[in-house]
C-alpha cells in the first residue's frame, strides 16, 4: 500500500482508538488484572438496591452498560490489532487468505483485518 494511504488509515485508526478509549472509560473501568479487559462499572445510582422501586429498571441499565462495553471492547481490540498490523507491515492484508483487502472495505472500516470473504 502507498505510504500516504497508510498514513491516512493510521490517522483514522488512532483517532478511533482515542474515541473508543474515552467511551470505554465512561461506561466501565480497566480490569486491574488484565489491562486489555474492561469491566462494566455502573455509577452508584445505577447499582440495583433492594429498597428501590425501580429495581428492574436499574438492573436493566447495568446490563445495558455491560452490553455496550462488550461492543466497544471488541471494536477497541480490532482497532488495536489493525494498528499492530500496520507496525508489522501487514496492514490491508487479509488475516485468512493473505490477499489485499479492497480499499473500499478499508474506507468503510479501517480496522478490518480480513477481506469480505473471510469476515468472522
Ligand atoms: Zn481473505
The per-residue DSSP string of 25-41 comes to HHHEEEETTEEEEEEE-
- Given a cut of 60, whether residue 47 has pLDDT beyond it is no
Where do the domains of the chain lie, and which CATH numbers do they carry?
3-118 (1.20.120.910)
Q: What is the pTM (predicted TM-score) of this model?
A: 0.75
Which positions ≥6 away from 66 have C-beta within 8 Å?
40
Task: Report the distance separating Cα 40 and Cα 28, nearest Å.
Answer: 4
% of the chain surpassing 90 pLDDT: 60
- Give the 3-state secondary structure of residue 93: strand
Residues with CB under 5 A from ligand 1 (ion): 94, 96-97, 115, 118
- Given a cut of 80, whether residue 111 has pLDDT beyond it is yes
Which positions ≥6 away from 52 have C-beta within 8 Å?
58
- Given a cut of 90, whether residue 61 has pLDDT beyond it is no
User: C-alpha cell of 77?
Assistant: 481490540
Q: How far is the CA of 95 from the centre of ligand 1 (A)?
A: 7
Predicted confidence band of residue 37 (pLDDT cuts 50, 70, 90): confident
Predicted confidence band of residue 44 (pLDDT cuts 50, 70, 90): low
Q: Taking residues 8-25, report their average pLDDT.
A: 96
Predicted confidence band of residue 56 (pLDDT cuts 50, 70, 90): confident
Q: How far is the CA of 38 from the centre of ligand 1 (A)?
A: 30
Q: How far is the CA of 52 from the centre of ligand 1 (A)?
A: 52
Q: For residues 33 and 110, is the Cβ–Cβ distance under 8 A?
A: no
Q: Taking residues 94-114, report their average pLDDT.
A: 96
State residue 52's pLDDT score. 57
Amino acid at each position: 500500500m502507498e505510504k500516504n494511504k497508510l498514513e491516512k488509515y493510521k490517522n483514522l485508526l488512532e483517532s478511533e482508538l482515542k474515541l473508543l478509549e474515552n467511551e470505554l472509560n465512561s461506561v466501565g473501568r480497566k480490569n486491574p488484572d488484565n489491562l486489555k479487559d474492561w469491566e462494566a462499572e455502573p455509577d452508584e445510582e445505577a447499582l440495583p438496591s433492594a429498597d428501590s422501586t425501580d429495581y428492574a429498571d436499574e438492573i436493566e441499565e447495568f446490563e445495558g452498560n455491560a452490553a455496550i462495553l462488550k461492543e466497544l471492547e471488541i471494536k477497541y481490540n480490532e482497532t488495536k490489532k489493525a494498528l499492530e498490523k500496520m507496525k508489522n507491515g501487514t496492514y490491508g492484508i487479509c488475516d485468512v487468505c493473505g490477499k489485499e483487502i479492497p480499499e473500499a472495505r478499508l474506507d468503510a472500516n479501517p480496522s478490518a483485518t480480513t477481506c469480505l470473504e473471510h469476515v468472522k
